[in-house]
């Protein structure tokens, strides 16, 4: 099933989408010259491997994306990505903010955009202390919209830790 975790979906859903996900994996594996990638799908380990191999990939925009795994072990770094946007448009997706786990894979990130919705703000707990040693070296520009207010201290702490880890 294209390396995807089907635990959250019924068999009909998985059966229908499995060839589509496998197609995404195949396209990404053969698209090494991509500079700007916009996705709105479940992102599998194979997709991450393909994106990591894209040495020219500078901008990554993820709209309503999900990770097929929550484990960060053995995930490749996307070292060429300097601009990343995480955008949530659905108000009824309880796991949408888990996509922020990808921040730990973006060591050279310079611009970060995180947009939730007014009824479903992003929760920043996903970028907590466990990613301390994997945080980006320097973020120069941040755009935040509809972040859960009680999560702003966590974001501030993450940015401060990022500076401490990288000696700034």
104 contacts 131 by C-beta, under 8 angstroms:
yes
The model's pTM is: 0.79
H/E segment holding residue 141: strand 141-145
Residue 129 pLDDT exceeds 50: no
Taking only the tens place, the pLDDT of each residue in 43-61 is 888 999 999 999 999 999 9
Residues constituting the chain: 168
Q: Cα dist. 62→149, 163, 164, 168 in Å? A: 22, 25, 28, 29
Q: Residue 102's pLDDT band (boundaries 50, 70, 90)?
A: confident
Mean pLDDT of the chain: 80
Q: Distance between CA atoms of 148 and 21, rounded to whole angstroms? A: 31
Taking only the tens place, the pLDDT of each residue in 147-167 is 888 887 877 777 777 667 656
Question: Residue 158: its pLDDT value, please?
Answer: 74
42-43 and 59-63 beta bridge pairing: unpaired
Q: Distance between CA atoms of 138 and 113, rounded to whole angstroms? A: 14
Q: Distance between CA atoms of 22 and 85, rounded to whole angstroms? A: 24
The three-point CA angle 137-139-144 to 5° equals 140
Q: Cα dist. 74→49, 82, 104, 116, 144 in Å? A: 10, 21, 12, 28, 29
Highest mean pLDDT among 15-24, 75-84, 102-111, 119-128: 75-84
The residue whose two tokens read 């995180």 is 114
Residues 6+ apart with CB under 8 A from 125: 97, 151, 154
73 contacts 131 by C-beta, under 8 angstroms:
no
- Domain residue spans of the chain: 11-165
What architecture does CATH give domain 11-165?
Alpha-Beta Horseshoe (3.80)
Taking only the tens place, the pLDDT of each residue in 73-98 is 678 999 999 999 999 887 666 666 67
């Amino acid at each position: 099933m294209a390396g995807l975790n089907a635990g959250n979906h019924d068999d009909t859903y998985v059966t229908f989408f499995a060839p589509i996900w496998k197609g995404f994996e195949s396209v990404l594996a053969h698209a090494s010259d991509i500079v700007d990638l916009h996705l709105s799908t479940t992102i599998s380990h194979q997709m991450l491997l393909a994106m990591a191999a894209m040495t020219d990939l500078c901008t990554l925009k993820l709209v309503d994306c999900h990770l097929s795994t929550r484990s960060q072990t053995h995930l490749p770094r996307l070292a060429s990505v300097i601009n990343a946007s995480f955008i949530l448009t659905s108000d009824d997706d309880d796991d949408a903010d888990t996509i922020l786990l990808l921040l730990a894979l973006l060591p050279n990130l310079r611009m970060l955009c995180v947009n939730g919705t007014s009824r479903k703000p992003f929760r920043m707990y996903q970028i907590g202390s466990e990613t301390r040693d994997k945080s980006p070296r320097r973020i120069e520009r941040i755009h935040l919209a509809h972040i859960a207010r009680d999560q702003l201290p966590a974001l501030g702490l993450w940015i401060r830790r990022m500076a401490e880890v990288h000696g700034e």
